[in-house]
Amino acid sequence: MKIKTKTAIQGYFFLLPILALLLALSFYPLLRTIYLSFQDVKLATLGKMQYSGLKNYLTIFRRESPNFLKTIIPNTAVYVFGSVLGQIGFGFLLALLLNNKRITGKGIFRSITILPWVVSGIIISISWRFMYEPRLGILNYLLSMAGVKNLPTWLNDPNLVMLCLIVANIWHGMPFSFIIQTSGLQSIPEEIYEAATVDGASAFQRLRFITIPMLRQFLIMNLVMTSMNTINSFDLIYATTKGGPLFKSEVMAVHMYRRAFDFGKLGEGAAVAVIILLFNLFLTVLYLRLNKEKIEG
């Protein structure tokens, strides 16, 4: 046997454990979910599955309360857009600020910034729920100290609940964007900035023509991963509002869980999971395609 062939076989042999884990923990559950989405199966009768074709998908889109097209998808779009914009925007600004040479103690500030990301989502949900509590929450306490009479009910207000959840999610996910953007900023050679400064470029011009173009790959990766994490977001919303009030905060991930486990309709829950998967694939392909066209241009 040739040395190259032997080395290749050894390489594939060492890959077998991780491939087995991927098959067991990723590919099989994915295929099983797709299979269940075409079955008439309930949580109480798992052993009595019956092929139902597209019935689960049609039921999801035809249901009036909550309506998937008029309520669930718009809620998800608002939640994803606000969260992604806030996480990437604040993460970039904070990374840009802490990348400044004139700031001392940057290691301490970076460690503090990362803390929200490493805390459990359930703990964060409970903490923000207490902060938004109308009678005992710190937000209404500060507002009352400032003289505000008509205190908001925050999570119980249909007009405020989504904004409250977006703020909490930005606080929780912003450190991830901060880490990626910090890595990108530190990969830019300092000599480029020095040459631009010598040529008379202002701080805004250096940001526009050097920093942002050279961070494009990091921004695209950040955009893809943050969008996918937000679309799949479940624990923050479910532990805080469970989709209420009046379905105003029920996004696709929460809707999937409620159909599958609160109502026991696993087929419908699996169908919503497949729709979430398709949304993730669509956004990923779209972002990568836009980035490819920009690079080629």
Give residue-wise pLDDT tens across range 70-123.
999 999 999 999 999 999 999 999 999 998 888 888 888 888 888 888 888 889
173: exposed, middle or buried (Cβ count in 10 Å: 0-12, 13-18, 19+): buried
Amino acid at 245: P
288 vs 145, higher pLDDT:
145
Among positive and negative, which fits the CA dihedral 98, 103, 105, 109? negative
pLDDT tens sequence across 77-90: 999 999 999 999 99
Share of the chain above pLDDT 90, in %: 66
Q: Amino acid identity, residue 13?
A: F
Pairwise CA distance, residues 76 & 252, whole Å: 6
Q: Is the pTM for the entire model greater than 0.85?
A: yes
Per-residue confidence band for 295, with pLDDT thresholds at 50, 70 and 90: low
**pLDDT tens profile 241-291:** 999 999 999 999 999 999 999 999 999 999 999 999 999 999 888 887 877
Instruction: Grade residue 181 by pLDDT with cuts at 50, 70 and 90.
Output: very high
| Residue 138 contacts residue 58 (beta carbons within 8 Å) | no
Collapse the DSSP code of 233 into the 3-class scheme (helix H, G, I; strand E, B; otherwise coil) and give the result. coil
Question: According to CATH, what is the number of the domain 63-296?
Answer: 1.10.3720.10
Distance of CA 291 to the CA centre of its chain: 20
Q: Are 218 and 181 in contact (CB under 8 A)?
A: yes
pLDDT for 8 equals: 81
Q: What is the mean pLDDT of the chain?
A: 90
Q: What is the 3-state secondary structure (H, E, C) of 17-85?
A: HHHHHHHHHHHHHHHHHHHHCCEEEECCEEEEEEECCCHHHHHHHHCCCCCHHHHHHHHHHHHHHHHHH
Domain ranges of the chain: 63-296
Mean pLDDT of 155-184: 95
Distance CA 28, CA 201 (A): 55
